[in-house]
Amino acid sequence: MSIKIYNTLSKKKDTFEPLVEGRVGIYACGITAYDVCHVGHARSAVVFDVITKYFQYSGYHVKYVKNFTDVDDKIIAKANAEGKTISEISERYIREHDVDMDALGIARPTVAPRATEHIDGMIKLINILLAKGLAYEVDGDIYYAVEKFKGYGKLSGRNLEEMIAGARVDVSEKKRYPLDFALWKASKEEEPWWDSPWGRGRPGWHIECSVMSQNFLGETFDIHGGGEDLIFPHHENEIAQSEGATGKPFARFWVHNGFVKVSSEKMSKSLGNFFTIKDILKNYHPEVVRLFMLQSHYKGPVDFSGESLAEARMGMERFYATLKAIKSALAVSGDFSSVTMERLSGKDRDIFDRVSSLPGRFKEAMDDDFNTPRAIGYIFDTVRLVNGYMTDEKVAISAEACFVLDTAKRAIAEVGGVLGLFLDDPEDYFMKDRDKEAGKRGLDVLEIDRLIEERRAARLAKDWKRADEIRHLLAEKKIILKDTTAGTAWKIE
């Protein structure tokens, strides 16, 4: 089955066919490096991480380009406020970005260009637009003449009048038309600048992505993406300047993810309702955050709340509890290496057929516009099936049963790898998540471990009164103890 992708440009699902067989070129707009990343950034990062990994899983060689905007009004304002250079500000937040993305399990892009590395390419593209009459100069500023590009509005699906009425556009007496946008800005006092044929200045935002994407992927490439807030004006303007210069289609597929919302409002710094990735990861395992994102289709919004993250955590606990049970069953089993599919019969064969079909069903879901909610539903189905199989009194943990459980474990790991889930050892997952929950509730893990050790010593000394006191003390903090032959384990209720 071919991969079908909803294309913002065509307004429908189109069958994906790459420009070059077996290869995919993807460009996604990255951050403006002036502050730490919030959960809205995480949504886009997770979406395109999964899309990239799915293309690789499907046998494609992927070149993934994700840029950093390292010159911008907001970066300049922050640099001036702190008495720093724009390079110092952008370097700080690019490092912070990389730490956050690594923590979320986001694979690094093939190329991560920075706008300031491509100023010469921007000047060259602007010169082409000037020569074609698609741009004009006013006092060292260069503007794109929107009315001269006949296809303007084809991505957002709006005409010029609608865009003027509904858009936030820079007001300037220098413009010939309200929607014209800056390709180059003449330098002002206390701003960085580069030499150009029009004097000292710096590039506009939109020209940066046109140059970086085409530099690494060619004048026409497969997929361009980003958050839905970039459709207009950013991506619309990219199309105008790129296609205006080359006369060729720019990106063939446009993929846009929906917003993260808080109480039905878009999460944003301007509204003050944003949560940083760092803050969220203090309290939640990264895979819980990924599951929260992926349980909604990438095109739609996700409503961020403590309740939704708690539900995602419960889901991950069910997944990992099953993987832990499978691991335990396989650890006590004998050798099952001689078992083959042909040896299976009855319930063993039935369960084997169903769990081994998971990768195929996963692919069917993902081929349909990267439908991660349906794909995750299939994983939940497999987990329920395996749990029922393991708890069925009629099923002995035989070599055949272990073969089936091992098949289930491998199938879950295979599809989970694409989603960035189930990458931890089950015991490690529960320990990490337990410790994060303890931190969220203000509990000191070291103090809990010290009390458990004191209780162990009290029991060895037959000081049952003190041992019970410690158990009750911990129970008041919702900490449940479980004594085993290997020691005392604890969890938070």
Mean pLDDT of 390-396: 76
Peptide bond into 233 cis (omega under 30): yes
Asked, for residue 289, whether it belongs to a domain, the answer is: no
List the helix and strand counts (H, then E) for the chain: 17, 15
Based on the domain organization, do 43 and 85 belong to the same domain? yes
Whether residue 275 is found in the same domain as residue 347: no
Whether residues 415 and 482 share a domain: the answer is: no
The per-residue pLDDT for 117 is 98
| 334 and 239 inside one domain | no
Q: Which two tokens stand for residue 91?
A: 């370097």
Question: Are residues 117 and 171 located together in one domain of the fold?
Answer: yes
Q: Annotate 133-193 with DSSP letters as a single string.
A: TSEEEETTEEEE-GGG-TTTTTTTT--HHHHHHH------TT-SSTT-EEEEEE--TT---
CATH code for the domain of 312: 1.20.120.640
Is position 298 within any domain? no
Domain range for 105 is 4-283
111 inside domain: yes
Is residue 206's pLDDT more than 80? yes
Residues 180 and 57 in one domain: yes
3-state secondary structure of 289: helix
Helices 286-294, 39-57: inter-axial angle, 10-degree rounding: 80
Between 116 and 390, the higher pLDDT residue: 116
**Whether residue 431 has pLDDT greater than 70:** yes
Q: Let me know if residue 30 belongs to a domain.
A: yes
Determine which of 198-207, 396-405, 476-485 has the lowest per-residue pLDDT on average.
476-485
Return the pLDDT at 30.
Answer: 97
Quick check: is 41 in a domain?
yes
State how many domains the chain has.
Answer: 3
Check whether residue 312 and residue 412 sit in a common domain: yes
Q: Could you tell me if residue 300 is inside a domain?
A: no
Q: Average the pLDDT over 438-453 and give the result.
A: 79
- 117 plus 195 within the same structural domain: yes
The CATH number covering residue 175 comes to 3.40.50.620
Q: What pLDDT does residue 442 have?
A: 77
Domain end among 372, 390, 425: 425
Residue 352 pLDDT > 80, yes or no?
A: yes
d(C-alpha 284, C-alpha 312), whole Å:
10
What is residue 170's predicted lDDT score, i.e. its pLDDT?
60
- Looking at the domain assignment, is residue 172 inside a domain? yes
46-96 tens-digit pLDDT: 999 999 999 999 999 999 999 999 999 999 999 999 999 999 999 999 999
List C-alpha distances in Å: 82 to 74, 79, 189, 192: 12, 5, 16, 15
Rounded Cα gap, residues 65 and 16, in angstroms: 19
pLDDT at site 85: 96
User: Does residue 293 form part of some domain?
Assistant: no
pLDDT value at residue 288: 95
Q: Are residues 398 and 253 in the same domain?
A: no
Residue 382: what residue type? T
> Quick one: 458 and 355 in the same domain?
no
96 and 53 both lie in a single domain: yes
My answer on whether 89 and 170 are in the same domain is yes
Please identify which residue in the block is written with the tokens 């991969």.
3
Residue 17 corresponds to which amino acid?
E
